[in-house]
Amino acid sequence: MPPYAVRPTTQCHACHRLIDAEAVVCTGCGVMQPAARALDDKKILPVFLLAFLLGPFGVHRFFVGKVVDLVMIITGNFTDKDGNKLTEWT
Ligand SMILES: [Zn+2]
């Protein structure tokens, strides 16, 4: 790729910011980005077992590359039903 070319971008799967398409970690929220092929390789059974055994801890969500709500709240990226970010702690 020539140095003057615009690098391809994609949306962070957690905060939906535009980031470099090859980024491993989002520069906005710091969440690790899933590799495109890795997502296709995920099977239902391991996710089901993780959800069944460790569901309250959200491990199954991390397994598929999603962020649990507690992380989203702490990083200020948790949204209400209208998509508005919750920004005030008290
Ligand atoms: Zn992000």
CA 21 to centroid of ligand 1, rounded, Å = 12
Q: What is the pLDDT of residue 31?
A: 87
CA 6 to centroid of ligand 1, rounded, Å = 20
The two most distant CA atoms of the chain are separated, in Å, by: 50
Give the number of other Cβ atoms within 10 Å of residue 31's Cβ: 20
Q: Which residues pair with 18 in a beta bridge?
A: 11
Ion ligand 1 neighbours, Cβ < 5 Å: 12, 14-15, 26, 28-29
pTM: 0.43
Q: List per-residue pLDDT tens for the chain, 90 residues long.
A: 566 678 888 999 899 999 988 888 888 898 888 875 555 567 889 889 989 999 888 888 888 888 888 888 888 888 899 989 988 888
CA 15 to centroid of ligand 1, rounded, Å = 4
* Phi, then psi, of 27 in degrees rounded to 5: -75, -15
CA 72 to centroid of ligand 1, rounded, Å = 10
Q: Is 12 helix (H, G, I), strand (E, B) or coil?
A: coil
